[in-house]
Amino acid sequence: METYDYFCAMRRKKRRQTFEQVEVIDAGAKGKSVGKAPDGRVIFLSNAVPGDVVDVLTTKKRKAYFEGMATHFHQLSEKRTEPVCEHFGVCGGCKWQHMAYEHQLYYKQREVENNLKRIGGLDLPEIMPIRGSEKQFFYRNKMEFSFSSSRWLTEEEINSETEIKDRNALGFHIPGMWDKILDINTCHLQADPSNNIRNSVRKFAVENGLSFFNPRKQEGLLRTMMIRTTSIGEVMVLIQFYEDDKKSRELLLEYLQKQFPEITSLLYVLNQKQNDTIYDQEVHCFEGRDHIFEEMEGLRFKINAKSFYQTNSEQAYELYKITREFAGLNGNEVVYDLYTGTGTIAQFVSKNAKKVIGVESVPEAIEDAKENARTNSISNVEFYVGDMKNVFNNEFIGQHGQPDVVITDPPRDGMHKQVVEQLLQAAPPKIVYVSCNSATQARDLALLDEKYKVARVQPVDMFPQTHHVENVVLLEKRV
């Protein structure tokens, strides 16, 4: 087996090519930058910024493009800035941290424009300038960290002659490596007490001999940790344990309870499955409530361990205000909120509508939505659970009324073709399409183009330092 691996490695090495003095000309999909090989083929680079001039070592060769790494920088781009995070370049979480924020916004806006034009082939109005985030760091309200008994070693550690004794890690997966965890000192995505809690848990676990998880061997006590925070100061911490060791589990949880009295909700999960997902697991409440609350415009939203809630609370508020503005409600409309999640948008627009109907496939999310509506004393919203393509049909519309406005906020894959067909059949005067993937949004808009024109487009940056961008489109029925 070792001989075979060596042979494969040698073959890969021989296939690699070096290109010199490559000008980086653009930013592409998934946070990659773009250069051109001498034969005209595109090179996707993971560690360069448009405007750099670099030497490139290719890592993959395809018929139409290469993938590679910049190995030497002849000229640094004026678009560059100094990354603030010590883990940048190894951790894959903030791939654009070396690009100044105004340039991040430029490329995000252009991605939306290109996708709507090239994929959608749409006639567009003037696209409004992207709504940037006031916070470029410490903006996330939810982070998930993984434990590992065999942490990722940096190149410096590997090359040093020092014996590495502490191999435990509490941090993030190395991109593309399911079993490799980078130990994190300071993460600039979630405000304190997040870093303090994570580092304190790691230190306490090591000092008390609590074992870290090994995914290959499927052994160890500590598996994952999730931290959620809200704008009103509530904190949720959930520790996922692999081994059912009550004494060790309570030792750690009691430490957290005493060390961090600001924790509102202290939870744990026992998970001995092959994967880390908790959605099919029982969540146990060790101390405090089994949920936390977020507030927005006087509305109160309950968030439990399995709830979906936009991970940038302040920008979510901007996103929802744009959605409500695009809907243009006057109080007499029947509004359908497709892919409603926990009903945040539905409740946010409800005071301006006659009735709002929310539909979602996740039963727990719908239960949260109903409970939030009761908490907020909102009586003109109704929530229904089921697969969108099966629930949203003529019979459903006949029962609940013809929609005047449809708001749709689907997952990254966009809407199912049957949902698009039903929208065309229902033909509401307005559709407000909120998307986290403008490529699939453009595909869906092209299908709707026979009956709808794009009236307004507003990109929104929810995730600074990354290539991700949200987009809101108002569709108006053609006359």
Exposure class string for 104-137: b at 16+ Cβ within 10 A, else e: bbbbbbbbbbebbeebbebebeebeebbbbeeeb
Which one-letter DSSP state was computed for residue 116?
I
Residue 6 has a pLDDT of 39
What pLDDT, on the 0 to 100 scale, is given for residue 10?
42
296 pLDDT tier (thresholds 50, 70, 90): very high
Among candidate residues 148, 316, 124, 310, the one with its CA nearest the CA of residue 223: 148
Which whole number is the average pLDDT over 193-211? 97
436 has catalytic annotation: yes
Question: Residue 12 burial (CB < 10 Å; 0-12/13-18/19+)?
Answer: exposed
Q: What is the pLDDT of residues 81-100, one digit of tens each?
A: 999 999 998 887 899 999 99
Spatial CB neighbours of 257, under 8 Å, sequence gap ≥ 6: 263, 266, 286, 287
Distance between CA atoms of 309 and 294, rounded to whole angstroms? 9
- Read off the pLDDT band of 248 (50, 70, 90): very high
Instruction: Taking residues 202-208, report their average pLDDT.
Output: 97
**pLDDT band at 159; cut points 50, 70, 90:** confident
Strands 265-270 and 284-288: antiparallel
With tokens 């539909």, the residue in question is 359
Strand order from edge to edge, sheet including 430-435:
381-385, 355-360, 334-338, 405-408, 430-435, 470-477, 452-460
d(CA 56, CA 77): 16
pLDDT-derived band at 46 (thresholds 50, 70, 90) equals confident
Q: Which residues contact 395 (CB under 8 A, 6 or more apart)?
A: none
Mean pLDDT of 297-318: 93
Tokens of 473: 């489109």
Cβ neighbors of 339 (< 8 A, separation 6 or more) are 359, 360, 388, 408, 409, 410, 411
pTM over 0.85: yes
Catalytic residue among 85, 91, 94, 436: 436
- Bridge pairing between strands 430-435 and 470-477: antiparallel
Would you tell me how many other CB atoms lie within 10 Å of the CB of residue 196? 11
60-74 pLDDT, tens digit per residue, is 998 889 999 999 999
Which segments of 376-435 does DSSP mark as H helices, in order?
388-391, 394-400, 417-426
The mean per-residue pLDDT over the stretch 323-343 comes to: 96
